[in-house]
Structure 1
Amino acid sequence: MASTIFFICDLQTKFRDAIFGFEHVVATTNKVLKIAKILGCEVVVTTQKARALGPTDQAVDLDSLGPLHVATLDKTLFSMLIPEVEAILSDRPAVKSIVLLGIESHICILQTALALLAHPAHYKVYVLADAVSSINPAEIPLALTQMRAAGAIVTSSESFAFAQIRDANSPVFKAFSAVIKEEKEATAKAVAALLGRTSGLERSAL
């Protein structure tokens, strides 16, 4: 699916003990990678100052993507929209939708979403709420609300995935359905930990 690309932001081992629900973000990311492979979607990964903060966590199964893993790029900018990523997008004019996963919700994910929404290419930006997090969980609903207000589509990984498949008669539905069943328990845990917590915070802020 040349019209959609996934951006995975800064899922580095150094952050594992600091980020709320890090293991659930990784689990959702790995599910999404399986779905990206079924759909034939490319994936771009960034790290934040890898020399100091280390590489992408080994639990993120990038090797399974093969050539769909376009690049892992290091950055100091908080937004993922660095010149190298701009060049990747420029080389792929068919890309219309960009899907964001990773950390932190209120910093790098937020700034990436806002930069993409302001881009002249008019990208449709999706944020997978069960695949993003922050050090302080109270930051998450604030960031999701700001991104939604700016025009991003905030959704869950499963909802997004089914929207891409669209039809149970799809030739890839059997493989897709197998992933959904295989990841059922991990999905439930991620939704409960990340979406359950953030939805409660949103209600308490009203």
Structure 2
Amino acid sequence: MARIGRLSTKGSVLLLCDMQEKFRPNIFQFTNIVSNAARLLQAARVLGIPPILTEQYPKGLGPTVPELGASDLKAHSKTQFSMLGESVQTELKNMGNPKTAILCGIEAQACIACTTFDLLERGMEVHIVADAVSSRSQTDRLFALSRLKQSGAFLTTTEAVLLQLVQDAKHPNFKEIQRLLAHPSPDTGLLAFFSSL
């Protein structure tokens, strides 16, 4: 049967990649990317989806930005681009090896790409939240998303993830998720991606 990319709260993990202080002035649409990732994290908490947070060389690049709302999470420090270092792999194992990763953060052509490749090689389904992923340049961001789609990742948006996880207005947490969707996601410049297809 073909993979259709249906999201479920069961067997999913939210991966929050390297949204750190020193990246703030240089990442395209940083504020909006973090805002969308923060909504994903809030939804994950409501729906019982475990989150994993990484920081790239925090000694030099600083801590995770406070507006992500992740101060209660233990950040996995790394120097490699992929999030799947030893401590993250251990955490995934302790979670029962989730089958689906919802991935957001920076940078698309580096840490997001390497993480996606590692997850796909592990047999996991990867959903890259395109309006919660960015790079220093829009060119690198858009080409990385195209490349990762070719590799088998699903591209999606913040709002699509939230709605697909509840799937029904009768879902017990629908009202809480609906509140997170009270304002539409900000435009993060993805129309250029689709006009190039």
Q: Above 0.5 in TM-score?
A: yes
Does the alignment pair 1:109 with 2:112?
yes
- Indicate the SS of the match to 2:179: helix
> In structure 2, what is the Cα distance between the partners aligned to 1:35 and 1:197?
28
Q: Equivalent residues in 2 for 1:14-163 (5 A)?
A: 14-63=22-71, 69=73, 71-93=74-96, 95-119=98-122, 122-163=123-164
TM-score with structure 2 length normalisation?
0.91
Determine the structure 2 residue equivalent to 1:199: 194
**2:165 maps to what in 1?**
164
Offset at residue 197 of structure 1 (A): 4.0
Q: CA RMSD in A?
A: 1.4
Deviation at 1:139, TM superposition (A): 0.9
**% of aligned pairs identical?**
30
Shift of 1:51: 0.8
Moved over 4 A (4+): none
Q: Kindly provide the amino acid, as one letter, of the partner of residue 35 in structure 2.
A: A
Alpha-carbon displacement from aligned partner over 1:121-169 (angstroms, at most 9, x marks no partner): x211110000000001111121111111111111111111111101111
Structure 1 position 8 matched with structure 2 position 16: yes
Distance 1:169 1:20 in 2: 37
Unaligned runs of 5+ in 1: none
CA distance in 1, matches of 2:152, 2:194: 19
The structure that is helix-richer by fraction is 1
Question: Contact 2:33 / 2:188 at 8 angstroms: preserved in 1?
Answer: no
Corresponding position of 2:181: 180
* 8 A contact 2:135–2:141 mirrored in 1: yes
Q: How many residues align?
A: 189
Conserved? CA contact 1:129–1:194, under 8 Å: no
Amino acid in structure 1 at the alignment position of 2:161? F
Per the normalisation by structure 1, the TM-score is: 0.87
User: The residue matched to 2:66 in structure 1 has which SS?
Assistant: coil
Deviations 1:71-126 (A, max 9, x none): 3111000000101011111112251111111000011000100110001xx21111
